[in-house]
Structure 1
Amino acid sequence: MDSVLNTASAQLAGQLENHLQTIYPAIEAEAITQLVSDLISIMRLGSVEQVPVPYQNHWSQQDVIMITYGDSLYRADERAMTTLHRFLNEQCDGVINGVHVLPFFPYSSDDGFAVSDYYAVRESVGEWQDIQRLSAEYRLMSDLVINHGSGESEWFQNFIKGEGPGHDYFFTASPDEDLSDVVRPRTSPLLREVQTSVGLQYVWCTFSHDQVDFDFRNIEVLKEFVNIVRFYLDQGVNIFRLDAVAFLWKEAGSRCLNLEQTHEVVRLLRVLIEYASPSAMIITETNIPSRENLSYFGNANEAHCVYNFSLPPLLLHALITGQNFYLKQWMMSMPPAQDGTAFFNFIASHDGIGLRPVEGILPDSEVDLMIATMQDFGGHVSWRALDNGEQKPYEINIALFDALQGTVKGKDGLGEARFLCAHNIMLALEGIPGLYLHSLLGTRNDYERVKRTGHFRSINRHQWDYSELEQLLADETTHHHRVFKGIKRMIAIRAKQKAFHPNATQFTLHLGTQVFGFWRQSVDRIQNIFCLNNISAEPVALSLSDLNLISTQDWSDLLSGERYDDLQGSIELAPYQSVWLSNR
């Protein structure tokens, strides 16, 4: 046993040393050795029993992660996290087994993404015991807001004073440096002037001026975040969402996006997390063009999952135009995720519908058409600055239920069918589904919240009174009831199908412009499911012979229960109808 322990420990130390030498090439060997020792000590990995097994899938078709703020549901008589836990246990019927609780820490802006204390739970949400209780029953995803911290935090106040914890954690630059190539998702100035104890300094703010970027050139910043990871693991966190990680490393004269040191930091964190908790996962939040996003898989040695950021805008475009060309073209270009990695599929989130992920996929004219349609449906547009001073649309801010209330021709009476079709597609695709709470509930645009906060993203961040929500979900006449019931039914069916494993085979079908179809096959090649989706407002007749179904097998629709014995016949698809045609 001692030799096994020594081998595993030696391999861990060797991996950490290699990553650190790449991140910090100027640091002397002795200092790297000490840093390795420090990281192992922080993560409590002094005696490692085994080396993590590579290419392991820590997920199955039964996994669905609900995305929500900790206080999206509230009751006057209990903490918000208790109410969230109640909703999952009482209303979700066991169909949800994971939950991403968006930043539940004290913060100063951006609804939690300007963290002022990484080691505390916001009082309005609950306390660490609530987090621990939730993680005992559900797989828990937490944000690691790793790129920036609050301008009102104790760390930043110490930066201003020039002493105390965090005083050297923040990135500074000179306005005289060449920063013309820096890629940013905002229009505010990149550098913020700050009077400090040593004079005027310019801190780097990729996002808002209240979100000041950390300086990972300082090894103390790396050690601090490794300590935060260890602390979160102790609280029951199983999935780490690395927020805005693509911007982590900065170098003047570069784009300051996706730099090699950034990838190396992700690899380092994966090593530490896998040794500490073999079933824990990393998911990178990189709202950037598709090819760049996929790079965070590495060679199955970086993120376990990457957000499938191109899916929301492309699926929205397909459903409002009734044409699948761009969605299908993109899907055919997507490489299958190798074992040990998976796509994280979502079609709505607390942020808007990002437009950067369709750069090079959707022509500008189609993006403009989509934007105009969403504005007609009550949505807003957020912008980003280009290096030439111009602005470009960055994301559309709208609740998904409202986004799908019509087509480019205007609103119609097919919104619910279109909305459910979108979720049928998302749940059937290769990958792990992430389901935003407000999509599950069919929440509408919250104009009052936008007015109150002054931020467009608030349109899709409604807070529900739990008693009111219970009444709506119980009332069969409401769209909330119908949507909630319909999506839960899809999830329950999905969980039983081996062909819907996140890594099961997927091929795109060519069935005309109105039918978006794809074929899934289980890893053992026993189950086949043909996922057929009419994405148009017109009925479509589809010939079964086009699918080349094996005639000796029994075929039926998992969603409707209808059997198909005549394989030379046809399927009549109503507007926005989905069929999961399975041989088992």
Structure 2
Amino acid sequence: MAVKNQVQLITYPDSMGGDLKALNDVLLKHFADVFKGGIHILPPFPSSGDRGFAPLTYLEIEPSFGTWDDIRAIGEKFDVLVDLMVNHISRQSEYFQDFLQKGRKSEYADLFLTLDKLWESGEPVQEDIAKMFLRRPLPYSTYTIAETGEEEKVWTTFGKTDPSEQIDLDIKSQLFKQLMIDFFMNFKRQNVKIVRLDAVGYVIKKLGTSCFFVEPDIYEFLDWMMELANSLDIDLLPEVHAHYTTQYKLAERGYWIYDFILPYRVLDALMNKSSHELCHYLRTRPQKQFTMLDCHDGIPVKPDMDDLIDTQEARKLVDVCLERGSNLSLILSDEHKADDGFDVHQIRCSFYSVLNGEDDAYLAARAIQFFAPGVPQVYYVGLLAGENDLEGVKKSGEGREINRHNFSLEEIEQSLKKEVVQRLLKLIRFRNEYEAFNGEFTVMDSSKDEVRLAWKKDNKACSLFINLITNKSVIEYLDLDGKTVQYAV
């Protein structure tokens, strides 16, 4: 299959030079030997909101980004990973636009979850809604059908606006299944190697449950998706923000999962100068994971870290992040907040800024990520040691813009001159090329203010030592002649 145990880049289609052609030029010019694990291109499809995450279709590329030819061109040199928002599609999609016109007479009507599919009367029951894990005040929106003037209530898990731009799909519908087959066949034609199933935890709607990661139904759905992907030789990466035990269940079933716990653990170790929790976690976590520190959203806290953190201690860490310019996304439903009211969903920041722009601390964070078993992903802002984009937040009113700066070609060239970026590139190359990372991983005993990690395969061995007081990191490895070499990260 496609997943390689080497470093991947995550980027928007327009974040490194303005479009997909420019992205490919930048990759070939500066990073041809860097991202051997592939390129995760955040949604390049026509979209009506949420920076690509409200797609109209997966059969086309947004014309301002380029065409499928550009994606295939990137795919010649790098494995391409794209997102599939399996839970929802844009209100502006041809499917929902047809429904808005004709209502139940639309050929696409069954693709959507009208409320009578849950409640026989078609009227929502507050008692059921109270049990749900909500992403907006109500899980549905009301739309007026053009031909009849009738109102239809349709399930909408996500969306900042009311009515929402993101319309949930009915996974039980035959139309849905055919749509997925069409989308995956197209991904195969376009040489896409990995598909991330975004928001997959929300696909099952069942009264009396939280409507989030509903078992065992979710596994039946994922198994069907996996069968489809496997038939086309495409790897699948389910994206689930949930209690860590939920992720572990997926891992037990052989799925790739995201390590949404590592970013907080690394931050905590570096800020509080204590490796205790980090090392315990690294000893016990599943190994088949994609690792990350930063992304287009934020550092996960709740629900990913539930039962893993003391909320009072977490509040202190969050306060330091806020002092360093971060902003927060919060949990909406009271039922899913901590008993003491702790409600932080994600800490939004550049990872470089949240470490106070300290080069050694930032390189130590990356070294831990790269030594943790799994496929490491580096977000483009992190690659270029970008700082909090407070101007972007002010301009857009969207807190997540803090870590979504679009780099011009000139800014990329400037960033590459930074010592911290050159050091990071050297570290990525080492992680890609040193054979021991395909062997056996050990968390070595260390004092509280140190981290010691090691890998061994045949006659290759390397270890990482980090002094958390100074944030200095040293890698020791055996070279081709079997000599011990020390490398200050």
CA-to-aligned-CA distance 1:155-186 (integer Å, 9 cap, x gap) = 222222324453321223332261222123x3
- Is the counterpart of residue 275 in structure 1 residue 210 in structure 2? no
Aligned to 2:33: 94
**Structure showing greater Rg:** 1
Tell me how far 1:297 sits from its aligned partner: 2.9
User: In the superposition, relative to structure 1, how do residues 240 and 416 fare at CA in structure 2: closer, same or farther (>3 Å)?
Assistant: same
Tell me how far 1:95 sits from its aligned partner: 1.5
- Is the counterpart of residue 505 in structure 1 residue 450 in structure 2? no
CA distance in 1, matches of 2:366, 2:138: 38
Aligned length: 463
- Is the counterpart of residue 534 in structure 1 residue 461 in structure 2? no
**Secondary structure of 1:499 counterpart:** helix
Tell me how far 1:529 sits from its aligned partner: 2.3
Counterpart of 2:243 (choices 267, 279, 289) is: 289
**Secondary structure of 2:331 counterpart:** strand
CA distance in 2, matches of 1:84, 1:441: 14
Aligned to 1:175: 124
Aligned to 1:154: 94
CA distance in 1, matches of 2:431, 2:365: 15
CA-to-aligned-CA distance 1:165-214 (integer Å, 9 cap, x gap) = 53321223332261222123x34322222223483332222221222211
Aligned to 1:332: 283
CA distance in 2, matches of 1:380, 1:167: 40
Output aligned runs, 1:187-336, within 5 Å.
Answer: 187-196=136-145, 197=148, 199-208=150-159, 209-259=164-214, 260-277=216-233, 280-300=234-254, 303=255, 305-335=256-286
Superposition CA RMSD, Å: 2.4
User: In the superposition, relative to structure 1, how do residues 540 and 311 fare at CA in structure 2: closer, same or farther (>3 Å)?
Assistant: closer
**Secondary structure of 1:385 counterpart:** coil
- Is the counterpart of residue 139 in structure 1 residue 76 in structure 2? no
CA-to-aligned-CA distance 1:371-395 (integer Å, 9 cap, x gap) = 1011100010111222549672110
Q: Which moved more, 1:114-123 or 1:345-354?
A: 114-123
Aligned to 1:378: 325
**Secondary structure of 1:142 counterpart:** strand
Q: Is the 8 A contact 1:158 1:166 kept in 2?
A: yes
Counterpart of 1:363 (choices 285, 310, 324) is: 310
**Secondary structure of 2:40 counterpart:** strand
Aligned to 1:559: 487
Q: Is the 8 A contact 2:415 2:421 kept in 1?
A: no
Q: Is the 8 A contact 2:43 2:52 kept in 1?
A: yes
Could you list the runs of 5+ residues in structure 1 that have no partner in the other structure? 1-56, 406-413, 475-480, 561-577, 579-584
CA-to-aligned-CA distance 1:511-541 (integer Å, 9 cap, x gap) = 011112222222xx43332222222347899
**Secondary structure of 1:286 counterpart:** coil
Output aligned runs, 1:507-526, within 5 Å.
Answer: 507-522=442-457, 525-526=458-459
CA distance in 2, matches of 1:422, 1:538: 9
- Is the counterpart of residue 415 in structure 1 residue 366 in structure 2? no
CA distance in 2, matches of 1:238, 1:109: 26
Tell me how far 1:64 sits from its aligned partner: 1.5
The structure with higher relative contact order (CA 8 Å, sep 6+) is 2
User: In the superposition, relative to structure 1, how do residues 387 and 175 fare at CA in structure 2: closer, same or farther (>3 Å)?
Assistant: farther
Q: Is the 8 A contact 1:384 1:394 kept in 2?
A: yes
CA distance in 2, matches of 1:153, 1:426: 39
Q: Is the 8 A contact 1:521 1:528 kept in 2?
A: yes
**Secondary structure of 1:73 counterpart:** coil
CA distance in 1, matches of 2:58, 2:424: 34
CA distance in 1, matches of 2:69, 2:430: 33
Aligned to 2:53: 113
2:459 corresponds to which letter in structure 1?
A: I
CA-to-aligned-CA distance 1:211-249 (integer Å, 9 cap, x gap) = 221111212112211210111111111000000111111
User: In the superposition, relative to structure 1, how do residues 400 and 531 fare at CA in structure 2: closer, same or farther (>3 Å)?
Assistant: same
CA distance in 2, matches of 1:365, 1:327: 18
CA distance in 2, matches of 1:170, 1:535: 52
Tell me how far 1:142 sits from its aligned partner: 0.5
Aligned to 1:23: none
Aligned to 2:388: 445
Q: Is the 8 A contact 1:518 1:531 kept in 2?
A: yes
Tell me how far 1:285 sits from its aligned partner: 0.9
Tell me how far 1:555 sits from its aligned partner: 6.1
Q: Between the two proteins, what is the percent identity of the paired residues? A: 25
- Is the counterpart of residue 463 in structure 1 residue 406 in structure 2? yes
CA distance in 2, matches of 1:399, 1:389: 26
CA-to-aligned-CA distance 1:248-292 (integer Å, 9 cap, x gap) = 111011111222222222212222222222xx2111111112111
User: In the superposition, relative to structure 1, how do residues 483 and 220 fare at CA in structure 2: closer, same or farther (>3 Å)?
Assistant: same
**Secondary structure of 2:39 counterpart:** strand
Output aligned runs, 1:54-65, within 5 Å.
Answer: 58-61=2-5, 63-65=6-8
TM-score, normalized by length of structure 1? 0.75
Tell me how far 1:557 sits from its aligned partner: 4.1
CA-to-aligned-CA distance 1:531-559 (integer Å, 9 cap, x gap) = 22222347899xx9xxxx99xx9663452
Q: Is the 8 A contact 1:181 1:387 kept in 2?
A: no
Counterpart of 1:343 (choices 282, 289, 292) is: 289
Q: Is the 8 A contact 2:364 2:472 kept in 1?
A: no
**Secondary structure of 2:110 counterpart:** coil
Q: Which moved more, 1:529-538 or 1:421-430?
A: 529-538
CA distance in 2, matches of 1:198, 1:540: 66
